[in-house]
Amino acid sequence: MDSDIALTDLQGQARVYEESNGDLRRRFRQPSVTQREFTLPPADRGKDAWLFLAGCFMVEALIWGFPFSFGVFQEYYTTHEPFSARPAGIAVIGTSSTGIMYLSCPVLFAAFKRWPHVRRHCTLVGLAINTVAVVAASFATQVSHLILTQGVLYAIGGVMIYCPTILFLDEWFIRRKGLAFGMMWAGTGVSGVVLPFVMSALLTRFGFRTTLRAYAVALIILALPLLYFIRPRLPLAQTSLQRRLDLSFLRTSAFWIPESANVAQGLGYFIPSIYLPTYATSQGMTGTEGTLMLALVNMGVVFGAIWVGALTDRMHVSSVTALCSLGAVLAVFVFWGLAVSLPMLCLFSLLYGLTAGGYSATYTGIVQLVKGQDTGADTGMVFGFLAVGRGIGALASGPLSEALLHFQTWKGEAKLGYGTGYGLLIVFTGITAAAGGSSFIARRIGLN
């Protein structure tokens, strides 16, 4: 009897042992929920990375393409009521939009470093602000109303979408970072090819009020679904460690030398995009031909951003900025300065977009250069202060270009483009383009 009971106990213990052993084997064979949860998608490749980059491209096209197509609105506002009677300040609308977006970047990057959990939510809030800004602009009756809505308010919404995108892209692409940023920024160029013709046709047929409201609807329909793909690659737990905000890179020559060149280039970079349609009209060309020039600048930006981004992955960044500056100087002084005909101006537009338009794609190389001198530098903050440099140029170029144009220097005295009244603008744009390559000279003489 006792032996039977003992045997039964042994069999029961054996079953328990086998079941527990089986549980252990199953546990070792199957990854835990935590393991599965933290399996990261690969960087630089794979479906998730390319879907993210496609979303970035389209959002970039929709958010930045609008202010970069402002030349069409500039021509319309200058020649149509209720703004043509007092056109002063119209150029400020476009430059305030781009300038404030650039200038706000460090503030947003610092906030996202402190509160990283709000990054994705900000993209939705930014899109809502963009939409409200465009609708509000459609009710404007004065230039100042347009500056506040189409300029300032639109910029606030745009930067709330743009900054999280930059931070997420830095996670998704590592070895191909320059190429990825170039492809994203090419979205502005693609949009800038299409939007000027669309906006010009809508403005001519329906006026600015209906055009702006139609674009607001397009923003919601096209951008809202794409925000789903704009998400981080790294889990928040791995990116939310609190660290002191380190701005020591601001004391390095690796930052200030390229930043100075960046500010100088930005002072003149936006001038052709603002004035080409108006310039074309002043030379007896049609509005469509002026729109074509703006579209060609943006077409050049598409290819310029990609090839400059790819070069930045392979060459020293100062050499890449020198190539951009050399091409832009040639385009401005030869193809714009010596031409008043459509073919030469089209060549200028395409070459200028290809070279000057790719300049901002060198930022990834500048970030790496800065990190080489200051290993604690934060990517977002370095990028943010580079954007500030571009923003200073964008904001200043509006009133500065209006002042230069007011003098009508060399009009009727010089020949070709220099004698059209736009001569001082042409020379100023060329000089600032040349200054954009100054970091190459600094490197050659050992300053950096």
Query: Where do we find the tokens 């990517």?
Result: 379
What is the model's pLDDT at position 192?
Answer: 82
Share of the chain above pLDDT 90, in %: 39
- Window from 29-38, 173-182, 294-303, 312-321 with minimum mean pLDDT: 29-38
Note the pLDDT tens digit of each residue in 132-148. 999 999 999 999 999 99
pLDDT for res 276: 87
For residue 426, the one-letter residue type is I
Q: What is the mean pLDDT of the chain?
A: 85
The mean pLDDT value for 378-391 works out to: 89
SS (H, E, C) 403-423: HHHHCCCCCCCCCHHHHCCCH
Mean pLDDT over 43-57 rounds to 89
d(CA 415, CA 426): 13
pLDDT in tens, 248-271: 999 999 999 999 999 999 999 989
pLDDT at 396: 86
Contacts of 446 (CB under 8 A, 6+ apart): none
Residue 7 pLDDT > 60: no
Give the pLDDT band of residue 352 (cuts 50, 70, 90).
very high
Q: C-alpha angle with apex 320: 315 to 323, nearest 5 degrees?
A: 135
Contacts of 340 (CB under 8 A, 6+ apart): 283, 416, 417, 420
> Tokens representing 423?
């001569």
pLDDT attached to residue 243: 59
394/230: higher pLDDT: 230
Which pLDDT belongs to residue 150? 96
Give the closest residue to 422 by CA, choosing from 271, 267, 294.
271
Q: Which is more confidently placed, 139 or 342?
A: 139
Residue 19 has pLDDT above 80, yes or no: no
Q: pLDDT confidence of 403, banded at 50, 70, 90? A: confident
Place of tokens 């329906």: 206
Q: What is the pLDDT of residue 242?
A: 53
Residue 44: which pLDDT band, with cuts at 50, 70 and 90?
A: confident
Among candidate residues 406, 418, 434, 394, the one with its CA nearest the CA of residue 64: 394
Residue 36 pLDDT exceeds 80: no
* Residue 446: predicted pLDDT: 81
pLDDT of residue 38: 53
Does residue 37 surpass a pLDDT of 70? no
